[in-house]
Structure 1
Amino acid sequence: MLVLFAQLTSRPNAPIAKTITSVMASLVLVLVGGGLIYAAISGYGRLKKQAAIEESNPLSPWLWRTDWALRRAGSQNKSSEISSWIMAIFCNLITLPFLFGMVPDFLRHGDPRVILLLGFNLVGAILFINAVRATIRHRRFDNTYFEFDALPFSPGEYVRGRIHLKLDTLAEHGINLRLSCVRKVVAGSGDSRSTNQIVMWQAEQNVPAGAVGPGPLGRAIPVNFSISAESPNTDHDNPSDQILWMLHAQADMPGVDYSDDFEIPVFRGAASSTPASDFGTRITTGADNFGFAAPQTGDADSGEVPQPAHTKVVVSMGSGGTEFYFPAFRSPGRALILLLVTVFWSAAVFVLYHINAPIFFFIIFGLADLLLIAGTLHVTLGSARISMGSGEILSRMGIFGLGSTRRIQVSSVASIVPVASMQQGTSSGNHLYAIRVRLKDGRKFTLADEIDSRQEARWACFLPW
């Protein structure tokens, strides 16, 4: 904001093209900074709410998504529309300063490089058109969703329900539906990062226009698939290797075609016709061996969790029982990003000090810098140790292994569960996890965090304590 203010006040007689260019460049910085602040604040709130849901239903992963718990799957088009606009706005804020600042000069001098600049700006125009089309599609078909007849669906049984949408035109060729079980594998890192989707099972059908009935949004498309009994469960344990069940719907329409995708929950031996509200009130209050809470009939997530191929936690047998040691530098990627952000932020604070910036800005930036330094030290050098002894759980977290030991009576423990503690990267399925103990009096304590694999967190909870 300071840069934007300076651009508007320091050079009042500057050419209008250069002023527009400078202002748009400043807006890029403002939007990036504001976006990061908003993402941090809103992301913390979402993760806190998500952790509470997972703790309340540790054995029912199909209840961890709000829409699934309501027996429906929301359309992925809405998030696609938002991301399309974010990309379009950000790209155009970068390209338009070149259009206003350099293209006029190149045209006046007949410089052939103007073709490259116009091509560069064409990218922003294409992204803008794509965002407009996404908005038109969303407005035309409304907030579509797939309503379940069962929660969750199970291999060997039927996937039945209805897709609700606003449909003001008859689909003459019907609606094409495709149900797929996809293995999504992410390999490599950085520029060599790639995502492959391997279809493990698939079925297709065409719903005639006459079979489309009325619904709360206007129309309802019936869905009825029989899935193989050998099909795998939905699996989000490893963000780099996930099993997804996707329902795709498509219809040729005048103007913008209808196209939608829904992710549905498929878990073996867990199908139920119980209303969603009944599921939401199921809270496990006991634990057999201080791993996951005691399994209940029909819980698809209650089986033993296999040990991951590569674990970072060190498990050993101490004098009193099992001991878990979570070493420092467990999330090297996040530690590196935090270190770079902290270095640049500290440099900005140093510059503010030397240019005699207003004390208010220096204090705010300085306090934020202290938080970044503390976070970097925790992520990079923080370790955790959990052990059993004399009817107590002993937990110690701290930098360089230092810190006070928390003592928790075994008799006061209700459950120990893994919860999502932080999202890393831009993918909603790429989280860091923590192991949290919930006491019978309602209090909660974190025993270890910065675990980058949900499978490892679940495996640690399943081990005998």
Structure 2
Amino acid sequence: MIGDILAIYGSTVFFLLFGSTILFLTLLGVFRKREAQYRTFVRYFKVYSIIVLGVLVLFGGELISLGVTEVLSGEPGGNPWITIGGGLAIITIVGVAFYVFFIAGPRALRKFESRKKEHPNAPWMWVDEWLERRIVYSGTGNLVFVWFVIPVVIFGGGFVWYMNRAIILAKMQSSSRFEVIAFALLMLFILVPALLGAVSWTRGQLKYGKSIFELSTYPGIVGGELAGTIYTRMKEIPKDGFKVQLACELTERSSGRSSNTSTVFLWAAERKVLMQELKMGPEGVSIPVSFSIPPGAEESDLWMSHNRRIDWTLSAFSGRKGTQYLSQFNVPVFKAWPKA
């Protein structure tokens, strides 16, 4: 009974939301080059998005209600706790999406516009992480993503095997078993290195924690240099030193019927920081950084266009047995004199 209700209700909600969302996105694409109509549709789309989130909350609430009803009634069949968990998951995802897009996003935009007015000729002071000379790197977000993807892939593969175990076992007893074995080996070839790399990266993150890049040139200057010091929490100076790289990346997104995002390196330089150049500070090893930037290089550009972005990334890496040290900083590089 509960499965029939969920199937009918869920499919109806899905097709209504899917169809209306496609219609809105199509209209947004049509009116993208007409500024007045585009802004109007953006406002309508925000209202529509709130309605969609509200419908999803109602759907999640209905799932929880159906699951609780089945638990209290004691009817056999099905697993009401999965239904309740699905409802809670939907409401949680909707809550996070609402906070990100309708609370945190607009708040950050207002702060950004305020700083643009306050510092019109100093774009390196528009971004939170650039406002001071110290840029903090923590790989926690990337690690969470990695450890989210890997279990999803593993459990997804296990679920596929469970749902098709009869077919797979039948193939294993026939001449098609080599296809199953080849697929299993391919998955192991992908997952085992990924898992070992994630473990090594996680150990390094837990051992070394956050790193800070303190700029001595603020900002980095096109035709000049980017210089500063990376402060780590590494308690021992690695014998092989560090590999430090500064790279300028262009990310472009093509619009139209087939949207595509591409990233290319416009410029990159790399140097080896030897053991003799490193210093031990009160928190850990410090890495001196100095790169000359060519006069024709692009400036940092994170805001001028939704379809084009220029990032300057400073990274430092050191591989040790069983652990990896990695830090990456999005640094400001502009055609301006550094601020004293």
TM-score when normalising by structure 2? 0.64
Partner of 2:106: 44
**1:154 and 2:214 matched:** no
Percent of pairs with identical residues: 20
**1:264 and 2:331 matched:** yes
Q: 1:84 to 1:30 in 2, by over 3 A?
A: farther
| Structure 2 residue matching 1:9: 3-state secondary structure | helix
1:177-212 CA-to-partner distances (Å, cap 9, x unmatched) read 111222222234676413121x33222111112322
Q: How does 1:24-423 map to 2 (within 5 A)?
A: 24-39=85-100, 40-75=102-137, 77-84=139-146, 87=149, 91=152, 95=156, 99=159, 107=165, 135-188=202-255, 192-197=259-264, 199-215=265-281, 217-236=283-302, 237-273=304-340
Conserved 8 A contact 1:150-1:271:
yes
Cα distance between partner residues in 1 of 2:327 and 2:281: 17
Amino acid paired to 1:45:
R
1:268-325 CA-to-partner distances (Å, cap 9, x unmatched) read 132122xxxxxxxxxxxxxxxxxxxxxxxxxxxxxxxxxxxxxxxxxxxxxxxxxxxx
Count of matched residue pairs: 265
Cα distance between partner residues in 1 of 2:209 and 2:225: 27
Partner of 1:6: 66
Cα distance between partner residues in 2 of 1:4 and 1:126: 39
| Structure 1 residue matching 2:320: 3-state secondary structure | coil
Partner of 1:370: none
Q: 1:256 to 1:235 in 2, by over 3 A?
A: same
Conserved 8 A contact 2:224-2:294:
yes
Cα distance between partner residues in 2 of 1:171 and 1:209: 7
Deviation at 1:77, TM superposition (A): 2.7
Conserved 8 A contact 2:250-2:309:
yes
Structure 2 unaligned blocks of 5 or more: 1-59, 173-179
Cα distance between partner residues in 2 of 1:30 and 1:134: 32
Cα distance between partner residues in 2 of 1:128 and 1:72: 33
Q: 1:57 to 1:132 in 2, by over 3 A?
A: farther
Q: 1:216 to 1:147 in 2, by over 3 A?
A: farther
1:398-421 CA-to-partner distances (Å, cap 9, x unmatched) read xxxxxxxxxxxxxxxxxxxxxxxx
TM-score when normalising by structure 1? 0.48
Structure 1 unaligned blocks of 5 or more: 274-465
Deviation at 1:21, TM superposition (A): 4.2
Q: 1:216 to 1:13 in 2, by over 3 A?
A: farther
| Structure 2 residue matching 1:186: 3-state secondary structure | strand
Deviation at 1:175, TM superposition (A): 0.4
1:83-139 CA-to-partner distances (Å, cap 9, x unmatched) read 4456568x479949x83xx865755897659979x97x9999998887766544332
Conserved 8 A contact 1:28-1:93:
no
CA RMSD after TM alignment: 3.8
Bigger proportion of residues as helix: 2
| Structure 1 residue matching 2:269: 3-state secondary structure | strand
Q: 1:131 to 1:201 in 2, by over 3 A?
A: closer
Partner of 1:387: none
Deviation at 1:149, TM superposition (A): 0.1
Conserved 8 A contact 1:80-1:134:
no
Partner of 2:31: none
